């Protein structure tokens, strides 16, 4: 059912060295080769699987379109965070009550809002693009820092150019992979991954600053200032702690690593000039209970296959096209994903499928993007 994707490790050694039989390679050379990405010469598999599913089950296209429930969930979670922040306005920010609330309630709620913004970025809350942009700005409020307008163009590029070097900002940089290639390094990454996801995109390329970005910044700063003026700085600290913990060692944060890191053991890498038939799956789904709190983002193969299907209908997609999804490897626990990522020597920041820009079909933001895609 799946399209075959041929991959290899991009060689660091010379051509002559790459022709040396594996039995004659030194451990140092093999180790050096392993410290690189999994390179592929074919496009991402989701477009092909989408075409096969539509051919086998044309009724799945009826699942596409906005989900009216999304706006009510966003309103409920935003109100919950505002209430918690207000109730903690006189509580010491390093007290167990403050931090426990920020972790259990705040971290879960803000992870939910991260993924609400993710859902809304695909125009899946309203038919109107502008209404979706405005709802994303509302969902952004308890996060404390304006980012919803910037997230959308980067995320659409991630879908259009999955794994493409220089385009997909979900890919770790070589600097990250080199310096965090240890148990302590991976633990550091898992603890502070929210900062990597926030800062990495700007280090790779910049997106145009539009009116919706300006509105996002102005509204966020105005709401932050109003909270500080009428309730004190603790409210803002609660938002910041909630956002940090939502993207740190939190069970729901496991989805960041679970989605596209290659956890299957890959056989000995072959030179880029002579690829092997190794087929690492580059997108993993998770079907556990935490999907209830995270807009079913665990159904990630399903989401990438059909980005126009909202969170409430992804389970229906999986049921209809089960023969396409059941054979794929999946994660059983996001918490265990974090644990395995840190402790398993076979999994690291290098464990990502990567494509040259020439292979990818996507477009850079600012190079052919429509005004609607930029949220204008």
Contact (Cβ atoms closer than 8 angstroms) between residue 148 and residue 216: yes
Sign of the Cα pseudo-torsion (290, 74, 250, 147, in order): positive
pTM for the structure as a whole: 0.87
- Provide the terminal-to-terminal Cα distance of the chain, rounded to the nearest Å: 39
Contact (Cβ atoms closer than 8 angstroms) between residue 169 and residue 232: no
Spatial distance between the Cα atoms of 18 and 11, rounded to a whole number of angstroms: 7
pLDDT at 47: 92
Residue 158 CB-density burial (10 A; 0-12 exposed, 13-18 middle, 19+ buried): buried
List for the chain the helix, strand, coil content (%; round to 5): 55, 5, 40
What is the DSSP secondary structure assignment for residue 164, as one 8-state letter? B
Q: What percent of the chain has pLDDT over 70?
A: 82
Residue 34 has a CB neighbour count (10 Å cut-off) of 16
Has residue 44 got a pLDDT over 50? yes
Mean per-residue pLDDT for 2-23? 38
Spatial distance between the Cα atoms of 153 and 139, rounded to a whole number of angstroms: 17
Of the pLDDT bands very low, low, confident and very high (cuts 50, 70, 90), residue 234 is very high
Mean pLDDT of the chain: 86
What confidence tens digit (pLDDT) does each residue in 279-305 have? 578 999 999 999 999 999 999 999 999
Q: Which residue has the tokens 């190794």?
A: 278
Contact (Cβ atoms closer than 8 angstroms) between residue 271 and residue 32: no
- Give the range among 192-196, 227-231, 348-352, 358-362 with minimum mean pLDDT: 358-362
Mean per-residue pLDDT for 82-101? 97
Has residue 211 got a pLDDT over 80? yes
- Where do the structural domains in the chain lie, given as residue ranges? 7-12+28-355
What is the DSSP secondary structure assignment for residue 249, as one 8-state letter? S
What confidence tens digit (pLDDT) does each residue in 176-194 have? 999 999 999 999 999 999 9
pLDDT at 355: 85
């Amino acid at each position: 059912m799946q399209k075959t994707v041929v991959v290899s490790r991009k060689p660091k050694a010379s051509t002559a060295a790459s022709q040396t039989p594996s039995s004659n390679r030194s451990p140092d050379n093999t180790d050096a080769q392993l410290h690189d990405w999994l390179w592929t010469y074919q496009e991402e598999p989701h477009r092909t699987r989408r075409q096969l599913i539509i051919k086998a089950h044309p009724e799945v296209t009826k699942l596409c379109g906005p989900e009216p429930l999304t706006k009510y969930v966003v309103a409920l979670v935003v109100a919950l965070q505002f209430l918690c922040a207000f109730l903690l306005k006189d509580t010491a920010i390093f007290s167990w009550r403050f931090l426990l609330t920020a972790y259990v309630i705040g971290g879960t709620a803000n992870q939910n809002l991260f993924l609400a913004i993710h859902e809304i970025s695909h125009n899946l809350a309203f038919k109107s693009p502008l209404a979706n942009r405005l709802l994303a700005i509302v969902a952004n409020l308890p996060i404390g820092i304006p980012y919803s307008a910037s997230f959308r163009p980067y995320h659409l590029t991630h879908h259009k150019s999955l794994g493409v070097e220089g385009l997909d900002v979900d890919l770790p940089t070589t600097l990250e992979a080199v310096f965090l290639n240890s148990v302590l390094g991976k633990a550091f990454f898992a603890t502070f991954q929210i900062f990597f996801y926030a800062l990495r995109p700007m280090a790779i390329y910049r997106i145009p600053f539009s009116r919706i970005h300006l509105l996002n910044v102005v509204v966020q700063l105005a709401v932050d200032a109003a909270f500080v003026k009428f309730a004190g700085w603790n409210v803002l600290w609660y938002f910041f702690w909630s956002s940090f913990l939502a993207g740190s060692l939190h069970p729901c944060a496991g989805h960041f690593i679970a989605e596209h890191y290659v956890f299957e053991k890959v056989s000995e890498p072959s030179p880029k000039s002579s690829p092997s038939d190794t087929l690492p799956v580059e997108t993993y789904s998770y079907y556990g209970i935490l999907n209830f709190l995270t807009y079913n983002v665990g159904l990630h193969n399903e989401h990438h296959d059909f980005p126009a299907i909202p969170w409430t209908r992804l389970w229906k997609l999986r049921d209809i096209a089960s023969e396409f999804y059941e054979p794929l490897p999946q994660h059983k626990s996001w918490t265990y994903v974090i644990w395995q990522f840190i402790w398993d020597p076979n999994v690291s920041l290098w464990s990502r499928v990567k494509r040259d820009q020439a292979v990818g079909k996507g477009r850079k933001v600012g190079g052919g993007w429509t005004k609607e895609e930029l949220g204008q």
